[in-house]
Structure 1
Amino acid sequence: MSTPLKVVAVSGGTYRPSRTLVLVQAIVAELTSTCQSKAASSS
């Protein structure tokens, strides 16, 4: 059984787009892809 992962991104500036958000989204996408690949190969 897997445990959900909670990811929190904090950005200090409201006057420009957050690079932190984009970085966190990329990390979550890669983790999701990796976890799905491992789950498929273990089935």
Structure 2
Amino acid sequence: MTAERGYWNSLTPLQKVAVVLGIPASATVLYILYRRYRESRDREAV
């Protein structure tokens, strides 16, 4: 656990913001891709 804290503390404030914003952004992109995949599969099933 101390290694993780050391890594986080070594980041600049800008890098910390990028990490914090990047996680929800990547989750959103994955969700959109998943929805598109599901919709395309639903159309093929009909």
Question: TM-score, normalising length from structure 2?
Answer: 0.56
Structure 2 counterpart of 1:42: 44
Percent of matched pairs sharing the same residue: 3
Q: Structure 1 residue 33: deviation in Å?
A: 0.3
Which aligned segments of 4 or more residues in structure 1 are displaced greater than 6 angstroms? none
Identify, as 1 or 2, the structure richer in helix.
2
Q: Which has the larger radius of gyration?
A: 2
Question: TM-score, normalising length from structure 1?
Answer: 0.60
| 3-state secondary structure, aligned to 1:39 | helix
Q: Which runs of 5+ in 2 are unaligned?
A: 1-14
Structure 2 counterpart of 1:9: none
Q: Structure 1 residue 30: deviation in Å?
A: 0.2
How many pairs does the alignment contain?
30
Higher relative contact order (CA 8 A, sep 6+): 1
Superposed CA RMSD:
1.9
